[in-house]
Structure formats: C-alpha cells, structure tokens
C-alpha cells in the first residue's frame, strides 16, 4: 500500500488557499463563500476517486466506497471550517488524509468488505455562530428544534438564513441523522507539544478531556492609590493574582493531563491610580476522568475561597459550562495500535485536551483518534505545521486502521 504524499500535500495546499487571509492563514466560516468553495473542491476529489457523493441536510459531505459484504460503514474524516487565520492542517488533514487513505486502500486491496465513508464535517470550530459541533450534532440527531433560528453571526444573520443561502432547508435538519454508523476514526494534529517533546510521531487518543468553565468574581474595595496605606487595603487584584497562581499550581501538581487556565481577566475600575475594587476572571479546567475533573474543580474552588477569606475579600464562583470526558472506544484504540505495530511505529497514549467531532459521534458509533505532532505545539495560526514524514506516517497508520476495521 502506497500513500501518495505529493497528492496529499497538494490537496492541503489547495484547501489552505481557499479563504486565504491577507496576513496569512485561512478563514472558512460555516456556510460562507470560502466554505462552499472548499466543500465543492473536496466533492470534486471524491468524484475523481469514484466515491459516491452525498450531501446531507446541514451540508456535511459524505463520499462512500461500497463494501462487498455490506453492513454498517466505517467512517473517517474531519471538519472543513476553520478559525480566523486558521492553519493548513486543523480539520483539513483529517479530510485529505482520510480520502488519501481510502484511495490507497482501494488501489492496494480493492473494495472493502464493509462500506468505507469519507466525511467532511461542515462545522466544528464555532467561529461564525456562538455554537459548535453543528455538523456532528446533526449526524447524531442532537440539534434541537428551532436552534437554527436562534443562533446569529456577528452581522445578525441567523444560522437558518445562512443555510438557505447555501440551498439548505433548516426544516430538513433531522434528516441528517445517521443511525447506521459502525465506527469513526479521525486523524488530527495534536495542537499541543506533548508528542514533539516526547519525540513520538504518533499519538493514540485515550479520552477527549472533560472540562469546566468557571467565572470567578473577587470583590475588594476601590481606594485612592496614593492615600491608602498597604495595610488598610482590600485590593481585589492582589487577591486575584494569588488565585491565578494557585490555580496554575493546582493543575501542575495534579500533573498531566490536568490543565487549568485563567484566560480572561478584567479589573475594575482599571485606573492607574485606583486600588482595584473588583476583578472578574475565567477558569478553563480539563481532565481525562470525570472524577478527577470534579476533584480539580473542588480543589480550585477551595483554594480561591481560602485566599479570599484570608484577605477579607468577597468571592463568587459561577459555573459557565461543564462537559464530561469522552473515552475513545477500546476496539478502535486496539485497531490503531495494531495498525501502528504493523509498521513498527512507536505510539504514545494521550488525552486530547481539545474538543473534536469524535466526542459527539461517540454517542452513535465506536470512535477513535490518531494525532500527529504539531511543530512547536502551534495551532489555530498560520505557523501550524507538521513534518512531511509525520503526515505520511499518520495517513499510513490511518489507512491500516481502516483496513483492520473494514477489510
């Protein structure tokens, strides 16, 4: 079996040119012009590869290679949309490598036993509307009635209007649901530097991390920065600073894959000569196990409460969002491991800190993911890159995995 790396790279370059932004990177928001051109381009490649193409009610593109033995299909693919100034590989790699793997398998082994499908997920990033996983949620039937009328982009266009502009009928969304899928395998870039720092070229995802978003409000007293001695202050920012450090410490002590990030922080009144009276910040924390996630949340709440009490500060902690970890299916992990060992490829088991379509599709079929390294851990930016040899290796192991599952 031969992976055509030249073809793979050319297709990645072609997709990256669609929605190219002036300062580098590409932007292909859901149902936009660049998005439509990109979908057409992949459909064209699918037809060249003689796959049977179908677009579903939300615009997911499916390319099918029939299986000689029938049965439920094995699916591979990823999302076609991007963040602003997105890189060349996020999403695109899973589509291009998935198609390349199916072409390589057919060339080497002919028709599979089970059907093989290549899936272009219409949206995963949430860049245009304030919702994400639109494509995979449609596939598992999880889009609520009326949702398309509720979400608006920054220009005020509803998701339903945007669908109609692309010839899609929002009332038909339930028709996109599939209950006949056997498995979904996605190749993705890691978007972090765990593999690179371990010098391992292939990651097998064990779990997509669960997470909690908290909003922490620290209340002190705004005072004159010149006239209020240090010992008479209730400085909300000094208190919040202690919390920011303690939160990072909590996750560091817990060790991988626990992460906790204070990403947003706002000071009030935010004046150079006024002691901060209030600070509001967010915490994004993630872990692979539900229990560990809850323990980390409790730990962080506890330390913030202690620090606030010690300093006489007020504290409110609100949970903005909570999602459980999603384990990858053992069968698919085993298939990936077996595929890698066929090629003597060393793998590393790791948790995905980022969300992926696989976590949504897990409610309808067996799912699994392979990661290739991200150079310098960079992603969601024009610098996003993976070595050619790793792209080839990832595609090859993906193909062998599909072979295990479908032949």
Residue of 56, 186, 190, 390 that binds its own copies (CB under 8 A): 190
DSSP, res 375:
G
Task: For residue 326, give the H/E element and its range.
Answer: strand 326-327
Measured from the CB of residue 278, what is the shortest distance to its own copies in angstroms? 12
Q: Is 236 in the site for its own copies (CB under 8 A)?
A: no
Q: Give min distance, CB of 209 to its own copies, in A.
A: 6
CA dihedral 263, 264, 268, 270 (to 10 degrees): 80
Nearest distance from C-beta of residue 128 to its own copies, angstroms = 16
Residue from 251, 304, 358, 370 that binds its own copies (CB under 8 A)? 251
Q: Which stretch binds its own copies (CB under 8 A): 4-12, 43-51, 349-357, 358-366?
A: 349-357
The DSSP line for 93-113 is HHHHHHHHHHHHHHHHH-S-S
| Positive or negative torsion for Cα 121, 124, 125, 128 | positive
Instruction: Give the number of C-alpha atoms closer than 13 A to the C-alpha of residue 250, restricted to the C-beta side.
Output: 28
Residues 195-214 within binding reach of its own copies (CB under 8 A): 197, 209, 211, 213
Binding residue for its own copies (CB under 8 A) from 149, 169, 180, 270? 270
Of 111, 274, 292, 348, the one binding its own copies (CB under 8 A) is 274
Please give the residues from 83 up to 112 whose contact with its own copies meets the rule CB under 8 A: none
Report the 10 Å Cβ neighbour count for 343. Answer: 11
Find all residues with CB under 8 Å of 333, minimum gap 6, and list them.
Answer: 204, 205, 206, 349, 368
Does residue 248 bind its own copies (CB under 8 A)?
yes
Q: Please, which residue, 155 or 230, has the CB nearer to its own copies?
A: 230
Strand partners, 219: 278, 314
Nearer to its own copies, 162 or 242 (CB): 242
Q: Which is nearer to its own copies, 173 or 216 (CB)?
A: 216
From the list 1, 67, 52, the residue with the least C-alpha distance to 406 is 67
Q: Does 231 participate in binding its own copies (rule CB under 8 A)?
A: yes
Could you say whether residue 293 binds its own copies (CB under 8 A)? no
62 with 175: CB under 8 angstroms? no
* Residue 194 C-alpha from the chain's centroid: 16
* CB of 155 or CB of 272, closer to its own copies: 272
Per CB under 8 A, does 258 bind its own copies? yes
Instruction: Give me the 20-59 binding string for its own copies, x by CB under 8 A, dash otherwise.
Output: ----------------------------------------
Q: Give the gyration radius of the chain's Cα atoms.
A: 23
> CA 103, CA 327: separation in Å to the nearest integer?
29
Choose one: 34-42, 150-158, 184-192, 296-304; the region binding its own copies (CB under 8 A).
Answer: 184-192
**Total interface residues for its own copies by CB under 8 A:** 58
Give residues with Cβ within 8 angstroms of 227, minimum separation 6: none
Nearest to 371 by CA among 191, 239, 112: 191
Following DSSP, what letter does each residue of 219-232 receive, concatenated? Answer: E---EETTTS-GGG
Q: How far is CA 115 from the centre of its chain?
A: 26
For position 262 contacting its own copies by CB under 8 A, the verdict is yes
Pick from 217, 228, 295, 306 the residue near its own copies by CB under 8 A: 228
In sequence order, what are the residues at sequence separation of 6 or more whose Cβ sits closer than 8 angstroms to the Cβ of residue 199? none
The DSSP symbol for 232 reads G
Which x/- pattern over 351-390 shows residues binding its own copies (rule: CB under 8 A)?
Answer: -xxxx---------------------x-xx----------
Chain residues binding its own copies by CB under 8 A are 190-194, 197, 209, 211, 213, 223-232, 235, 237-238, 240-242, 244-245, 248, 251-252, 256-265, 267, 270-276, 282, 284, 286, 352-355, 377, 379-380
């Amino acid at each position: 079996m031969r992976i055509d790396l030249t073809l793979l790279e050319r297709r990645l370059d072609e997709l990256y040119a669609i929605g190219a932004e002036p300062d580098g990177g590409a932007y292909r928001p859901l149902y936009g012009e660049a998005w439509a051109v990109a979908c057409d381009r992949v459909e064209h490649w699918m037809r060249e590869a003689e796959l049977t193409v179908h677009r579903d009610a939300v615009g997911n593109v499916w390319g099918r290679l029939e299986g000689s033995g029938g049965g439920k299909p094995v699916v591979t693919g990823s999302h076609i949309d991007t963040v602003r100034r997105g890189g060349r590989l996020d999403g695109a790699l899973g589509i291009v490598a998935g198609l390349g793997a199916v072409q390589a398998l057919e060339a080497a082994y002919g028709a599979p036993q089970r059907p093989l499908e290549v899936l272009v997920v219409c949206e995963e990033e949430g860049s245009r509307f304030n919702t994400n996983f639109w494509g995979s949620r449609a596939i598992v039937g999880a889009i609520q009635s009326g949702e398309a009328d509720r979400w608006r982009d920054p220009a005020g266009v509803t998701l339903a209007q945007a669908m109609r502009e692309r010839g899609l009928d929002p009332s038909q969304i339930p028709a996109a649901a599939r209950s006949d899928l056997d498995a979904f395998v996605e190749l993705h870039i890691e978007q972090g530097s765990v593999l690179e720092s371990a010098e391992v070229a292939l990651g097998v995802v064990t779990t997509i991390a669960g997470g909690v978003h908290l909003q922490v409000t620290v209340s002190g007293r705004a005072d004159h920065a010149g006239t209020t001695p240090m010992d008479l202050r209730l400085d909300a920012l000094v208190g919040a600073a202690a919390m920011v450090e303690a939160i990072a410490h909590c996750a560091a002590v817990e060790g991988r894959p626990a992460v906790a990030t204070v990403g947003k922080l706002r000071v009030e009144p935010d004046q150079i000569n006024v002691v901060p009276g209030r600070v509001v910040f967010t915490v994004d924390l993630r872990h692979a196990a539900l229990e560990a996630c809850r323990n980390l949340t409790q730990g962080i709440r506890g330390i913030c409460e202690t620090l606030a009490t010690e300093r006489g500060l007020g504290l409110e902690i609100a949970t903005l969002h909570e999602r459980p970890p999603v384990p990858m299916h053992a069968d698919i992990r085993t298939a990936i491991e077996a595929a890698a060992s066929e090629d003597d490829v060393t793998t590393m088991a790791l948790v995905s800190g980022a969300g992926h379509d696989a976590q949504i599709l897990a409610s309808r079929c067996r799912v699994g993911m392979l990661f290739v390294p991200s150079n310098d851990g960079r992603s969601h930016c024009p610098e996003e890159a993976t070595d050619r040899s790793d792209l080839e290796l990832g595609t090859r192991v993906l193909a062998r995995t599909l072979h295990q599952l479908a032949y």
